[in-house]
Amino acid sequence: MSLATSRMVPMANAIRALSMDAVQAANSGHPGMPMGMADVATVLWSEYLKHDPKAPGWADRDRFVLSAGHGSMLIYSLLHLSGYERPTMEDIRNFRQIGSPCAGHPENFLLDGVESTTGPLGQGLAMSVGMAMAERHLNATFGDEIVDHRTWVIAGDGCLMEGINHEAIGLAGHLKLGRLTVFWDDNNITIDGTTDLSTSENIKARYEATGWHVVSCDGHDFDDIRRAIDEAVADERPSLIACKTVIGKGAPNKQGTSATHGAPLGDDEITAARGVLGWESAPFEIPEEVLSDWRGTADDGARAHSEWQMRLDGYAQKAEFQRRMAGELPKDFSLDKYIKGLIDQPQKIATRKASEMALAEINTGLPETIGGSADLTGSNNTKAGGIGPFTADDYSGRYVYYGIREFGMAAAMNGMALHGGVIPYGGTFLVFTDYCRAAIRLSALQQARVVYVMTHDSIGLGEDGPTHQPIEHVQSLRMMPNLLVMRPADAVETAECWDIALRQPDRPTVLALSRQNLPQMRTHQLSENMTGRGGYRLKAAQAARRVILIATGSELHVAMECAEKLEADGIGADVVSMVCTQLFDEQDEAYRADILPDVSPDEVLRVSIEAGTTFGWDRYTMTNGLRIGIDRFGASAPAEDLFEKFGLTADAIVPQIMNKLNA
Ligand SMILES: Cc1ncc(C[n+]2csc(CCOP(=O)(O)OP(=O)(O)O)c2C)c(N)n1
Ligand SMILES: [Mg+2]
């Protein structure tokens, strides 16, 4: 139901007032964008957005993504005004201060109703593509009665200028995600000034060329905004609504300029804006009738929610739907039997192949997985278990052909994971984690369960050479908070890694997998998922222990060969498989001290072996230890020749250990 313009104006001005006052109080923040988009947001939130502020987690709610995350006061205002429990006015007063959920940029884990963490421009829009994909997939799985919602995005010039925009809209256009609508805050302003400083692009033509429906409106005219949204909703393509707006609208001397983008307006300008807007309330006070109009807008959503709840209650698959939306694995899901089969019949295979075999089990046992690859399906071995393609004609498919869009894939997977109901995984070459990195960082920050299947994890990929051979990648990813980086050594560890990754409701995992075949190191049953310990002793010293070899992935068998040679000389050597440093670091001190005892290198020498940078391995070898690795770019040659060239063989490593022991 739409209210009279005379009542809509103060509703929008409430957003403007809260935004300029909160930014002023914090002495930092971005008033321009919320003030410019206040009218569009008011129409969207009061008349179109399907949500229930009293039940922010309602599964069939529309998703709203503020891709222009710097305008965070816009969403904080909208949440407060429409009646969410948080943010309270006190939270808004404390905008950008310690402890306030009204952080500088919206963070999904701080506030219900903030669907994704935004701020890195372009990624919000790209994540919304994943949300729209998850919605269509669940719709195809559970039907219109249970899943039928839209994804709305507010994006700025910056979001549309970023390279990821191209990947994201290309995917959305191809997949005909008609329930996705992007409002472009077409204000001609970015930080440096007017957009003609840096772009002459015909954005509407680009979107049209990508299969989008495009419509324009005056972003300060409620009726025109409604008309544009109605057109967007009616069109079966994804829609871009170009909203012509004035940044900082309402600030009489600064509006329309980049001065309003990211700085407080100042007391004088705020006073002048109050005059122009006819806003007489003190800072952080909303007139009762305005608040009441805002709160009333939630009624439709509450009704839709209760009608939906009745449909769900009568739905045969209710429990399964709820399980998936809660992100819980089926109680009987287990890879134990599969792993036991591997132990009974050891396999010498690449870990990418082992991953495919594990995925065949996983995709059969877990209907919620959605796999994919950035055009490397046959190399990443990501299509397994008989899953079919996710296409515009069949959204029930569980395999996404992302095309050569690594960043877009990673961001879309974030959107899917945040949407809920699905567990996304996707592959490319490990070296191209660099292309995904900004999205991997957001997976970690947003606590999203995304599994990155990154194959060709070292010089072991061979002939493609240094452009394709990761050197610094595994180690640099290990630095990222809340990300598990796993480099399994064989088929058993690969299955264990998958099991762990799937059981992380609030963190992503990178699986670093080999192209080349690897012997199976785990040939007897151990009582637990050893990979869960992060690092574990694969072999204990037979002679008196003088050496601990710490290796990962394809170098674990090299470490075992070294240990055999050392033992033959009467030098006892442990071999530790350090599958996941993050999980190892999380073990209690007694466990870590047992695996890596804190004794002097004269007694026990620690040696790391990994076909990548040695940077940082002193964390486990200590300064006096020995670090075997590759501190230069790789080379193009058959893998075996490269391992020899770079000294990653037992014959090359053992003499170095002997030297060190005898020094
Ligand atoms: C990836 C990325 N690069 C740079 C920034 C810093 N930044 C924040 S807002 C902004 C300008 C964005 O312009 P626009 O989207 O038009 O926002 P408006 O000024 O209209 O609010 C920039 C460069 C960022 N947040 N993310
Ligand atoms: Mg702009």
CA of 189 to the centre of ligand 1 (A): 10
Which ligand 1 atom is at minimum distance from the Cα of 159?
A: 15
Report the alpha-carbon distance of residue 426 to residue 411 in Å, rounded: 11
Report the alpha-carbon distance of residue 552 to residue 395 in Å, rounded: 39
Ligand 1 binding pocket includes 357 (Cβ within 6 Å): no
Residue 380: per-residue pLDDT: 98
pLDDT for 27-60, tens place per residue? 999 999 999 999 999 999 999 999 999 999 999 9
Ligand 1 binding pocket includes 158 (Cβ within 6 Å): yes
CA of 46 to the centre of ligand 2 (A): 24
Mean per-residue pLDDT over the chain, rounded: 97
Residue by residue, what is the 3-state secondary structure of 176-235?
Answer: CCCCEEEEEEECCEECCEEHHHCCCCCHHHHHHHCCCEEEEEECCCHHHHHHHHHHHHHC
Contact 449, 327 (CB under 8 A): yes
**What is this structure's pTM?**
0.98
Residue 61: per-residue pLDDT: 98
Which ligand 1 atom is at minimum distance from the Cα of 158?
A: 15
Which ligand 1 atom is at minimum distance from the Cα of 69?
A: 25
Residue 135 a catalytic site member: no
Q: Which residues contact 201 (CB under 8 A, 6 or more apart)?
A: 161
Please report which helix (H) or strand (E) contains residue 481, including its range. Answer: none
Q: How far apart are the first and last CA of the chain?
A: 83
Contact 193, 258 (CB under 8 A): yes
CA of 181 to the centre of ligand 1 (A): 20
Q: Give the single-character DSSP code of 400.
A: E
Ligand 1 binding pocket includes 70 (Cβ within 6 Å): yes
Residue 602: per-residue pLDDT: 84
- Whether the per-residue pLDDT at 525 is higher than 80: the answer is no
What does the pLDDT average to over 376-393? 98
pLDDT for 390-430, tens place per residue? 999 999 999 999 999 999 999 999 999 999 999 999 999 99
- Whether the per-residue pLDDT at 176 is higher than 80: the answer is yes
> Which residue is catalytic, options 162, 361, 406, 496?
406
What does the pLDDT average to over 234-242? 98
Residue 19, both tokens? 């935004």
Contact 210, 173 (CB under 8 A): yes
- By CB atoms closer than 10 A (0-12, 13-18, 19+), residue 378 is exposed
Angle CA(297)–CA(302)–CA(303) in degrees, nearest 5? Answer: 105
Ligand 1 binding pocket includes 35 (Cβ within 6 Å): no
- By CB atoms closer than 10 A (0-12, 13-18, 19+), residue 429 is buried
Contact 621, 549 (CB under 8 A): no
Strands 572-578 and 545-551: parallel
Which ligand 1 atom is at minimum distance from the Cα of 247?
A: 20
Residue to substitute in 121, 246, 260 for testing ligand 1 pocket (most ligand atoms within 8 angstroms of CB): 121
Q: What amino acid occupies position 213?
A: H
Ligand 1 binding pocket includes 508 (Cβ within 6 Å): no
pLDDT band at 526 (very low <50, low <70, confident <90, very high): confident
